[in-house]
Amino acid sequence: QNEIAGRETGRRARFLRDGPGSEAEKKKARETQRALSRLAELLLDPIYRAKHDSVLLTLSRAEQAARRAIDHLTDQLQDAQAALGTLVDSAARLPDGTRVFRDAHGVVRRGDGRVVEDHLADTILWTGNEPSFEEMQAAKQRLDALQAQLDDVHGYQNDVLGPARDRITDPETPPSLDSLDDIEDGIRSKMPDAVRAQEPVATPEIAKGTDLSAMAVPDLGAGR
């Protein structure tokens, strides 16, 4: 009965599995509380708290801008793919179905730029409405550029923003004040142009000489 009630008997661990009242769970809870207290203790310092909040704000805005950039680029990419598809469908064809384009100098080329042999070029029936080789190339370049921008934004999310959030919110080993500066600098300096274009308002800088100690700090014990 003592063991079931949770009272220490010296034998409980032999008979009852780990649960909410087990020693293992109690130890884990104590370790978790100690880990959480490291960040909470730092946040009691007004200067650290102000900088921590500033970096979190910078990070949050960058995350939102990155999501908007991905949505915007995805829409543009779909439009560019459709435009290229329309050009290709409108192109002239060789007897084997290969799409060909005439460049500004009248040279007939395949999509990859290779010149079409004269005996094959002679088989093409031109309507005059076919897209030029330059139009097709421009459409391809636009598609490639949009894809590269989208890849950059995804890389920024995965390689910069994700690790930054993990680092800032790490309860066990929170970043130092200097590390917070480095994290914030990285978020800004590594931001792709496509993301920067989606930022509605620049993150405000803390003016030099501001008395950070006068800033209000929330009661961290209120939620305990």
The H-or-E segment that residue 110 falls in is: strand 108-110
* Rg of the chain over all Cα atoms, to the nearest angstrom: 31
Helix (H, G, I), strand (E, B) or coil at 224: coil
Cα–Cα distance for residue pair 169/175, rounded to 1 Å: 9
Task: Give residue 28's pLDDT band: very low, low, confident or very high (50, 70, 90).
Answer: confident
pLDDT score recorded for residue 185 = 97
pLDDT of residue 36: 55
Fill in the DSSP letter of residue 10. Answer: S
Q: What's the pLDDT score for residue 172? A: 82
Q: Return the exposure string of 189-223: e unless at least 16 CB atoms fall within 10 Å of the residue's CB, then b.
A: ebbbebbeebbeeebeeeeeeeeeeeeeeeeeeee
Structure tokens at 73: 């680029």
Q: Given the structure tokens 């100098």, which residue do they identify?
A: 105
Determine the pLDDT at residue 32: 62
pLDDT in tens, 178-218: 999 999 999 999 999 999 999 865 444 444 444 443 333 33
